[in-house]
Amino acid sequence: MRFPRFLASCLALAISLDIVSAAVAADSSDEFDLRQLTDDNFRSEIAHGVWLVEHYSPKCSHCRSFAPTWLQMAKDKQHLERLTGFHMAQVNCLAQGDLCNANGIKFYPQLMLYVDGQPKPHYTGDRSYIDLEKFIDEHSSTYAQSYMAAGTEEGRGLGGLKPNPDGVVAEIDEAQFGSLKESGPVMVEFFAPWCGHCKKLRPTYEQLAETMKGKLNVVAVDCDNHKGFCKNAGVQGYPTIRMYHHGTRTEFSGARSLDKLTAFAEKAVKVTTLQPIKLDDFDSVLTSDEAFFLYLQNYDTTVADLNSVKAALEPLLGSVPAYTSSDPFLYQKLNIANPPPTSVMLAFSSHSSRPVGSLSFPTTAESLNRFIQLHRFPTLVELTGSNHNSIMNSDARPIVVLGALHKGDEGKKEMDSLAEVAKAWKKGGRSFAQPVWFVWVDGEKWSGWLKQQYGIKKGQLPSVVVIDPPMNEYYDTTIEGTQITFDGTSIFSVLEGVYQHFLRPKRIESTLEWGSRSAAATLITFGQMSVDHPLLALVLLVGAVGLFVGLLQKCNGRDLKDSGSGGSRLD
């Protein structure tokens, strides 16, 4: 009696295992379904993207042997549908004989490749997982690069006409200027016929126009004949050279040599604002560019999002490199979801492979512009005479954290410390309406300028101030009421106070204001002296006034000379 009971127990266990196995199999099949194409949906499905289609027959033994590899590959490459537009599907030729015959299927299984509805040479490699994966990665990546390249092509000129067809400097009026701006970037020299610097520049400027023939409109405005135009443009000295593009203007502040002017002009005529790259290109980009943007696209990226990115980058006139990619291996290297829920913009700085900022799409134009302005410079950048205007007089109206550092190894350590503060701010600081930029200067070389502008003495290095350039003001007191010090806690406290409008700013004095204030203080001192020594006071007063007038004329003359020749003054 025990033996039959034992058989019954074994039978029950076997039935239970079969039920469990069936349940697992059912769960596995429910987890992923192979896409099936029929005569009704074949043309519409393969019309867009890359499609690798297996034509098979249930009766084919080779098809049954290949089935596990095909199923696993379809699971593993499912993410490529949204990332690169690559799809995998099947056609059952036993049920869809006419469709297979129409596609010229001669044997089973046969793997056919279609790109945007057009048949390509079928797969002839080994049906191993490794070989098939290599084929898929190659074709999906190539397709992604092709549609990204097509999306980043830019038209030049207006109505198909090339700019500056004769390679000459065209003298224009305000109406002509408005028309030229509609057709692309315009480089403008505002000049006066009597200005010696303008006369000296003209031959070089004409050479520039010849160099940029067919590439960029190079024009000039006679401010004696068009005073209203120049006044409305905010021209304050001659010559003033600017680039106008997409509603923005960028002033040229470098040395007025042909090489420097050409480099400035070339930034405005780059054919693309987004350069497609792959994983293999990333390390070289990281090495060559101190700061850059990377826009990661996928197959679902909309034209509206792509156009918004290009429009936001174009006013930078190529001053910040920008790249785009949909390479799955680059996603993997950057530890980003593959594919991400949306397209994403990354900002990189200081040759670090870790992005300092990211922005997901869709987003508003305001948020995108704020993100680009925040990260357009490296995390920490040196303030020099050549970039002073683009930083301190930027249309972005930034808040500038300025560090005055020592020279040599000591200064290098201070620079690293300030860079860490800047990185921490980018990661977790307040979201100001305007960007916050961190810059540094050689505090020993620019000691006079620092003392005059911000009261920083040479013996106080390293020092830091927070500047609001549009308001011509600065802050050197924390929210707790203490003097700002060269450390992250103190700098963050000042920025918090600026954000909350808790702090009272100090005014930045110009050279003329500084001289006037000093003269006034001196006159008060002489007034007090005249009570006790009237004759001596009179002699000293006359001499002091003459000395101050001479010094102010010399300072103002040097300011104009330095600003006109790209000299050594920061401002």
Structural contact between residues 187 and 217, judged by C-beta atoms closer than 8 angstroms = yes
- Dmax over CA atoms of the chain, in Å, equals 141
Structural contact between residues 371 and 341, judged by C-beta atoms closer than 8 angstroms = no
Helical segments of 152-253, H only: 174-182, 196-211, 227-232
Decide: residue 119, CB within 10 A, 0-12 exposed, 13-18 middle, 19+ buried: middle
Cα Rg of the chain, angstroms: 34
Q: How far apart are alpha carbons 287 and 353 in whole angstroms?
A: 10
Note if 198 is an active site residue: yes
Q: With left for phi above 0 and alpha for psi between -120 and 50, is residue 184 left, alpha or beta? A: left
Q: How far apart are alpha carbons 567 and 561 in whole angstroms?
A: 8
DSSP letters of 396-462? T--EEEEEEE-SHHHHHHHHHHHHHHHHHHHHHS---SS-EEEEEEETTTTHHHHHHHH---GGG-S
Q: How far apart are alpha carbons 527 and 532 in whole angstroms?
A: 10
Q: How far apart are alpha carbons 60 and 444 in whole angstroms?
A: 83
**Phi, psi at residue 297, to the nearest 5°?**
-100, 165
Which of 195, 223, 230, 555 does the annotation list as catalytic? 195
Helix (H) and strand (E) counts in the chain: 20, 20
Q: Which helix (H) or strand (E) holds 75?
A: helix 61-76
Which of 63, 93, 100, 198 does the annotation list as catalytic? 198
DSSP letters of 481-546? SSBP-SSHHHHHHHHHHHHTT-SPPEEPPPHHHHHHHHHHHHHHHHHHHHHH-HHHHHHHHHHHHH
Please calculate the CA angle 524-525-531 and round it to the nearest 5 degrees: 95
Give the residue numbers annotated as catalytic, written as ranges. 195, 198
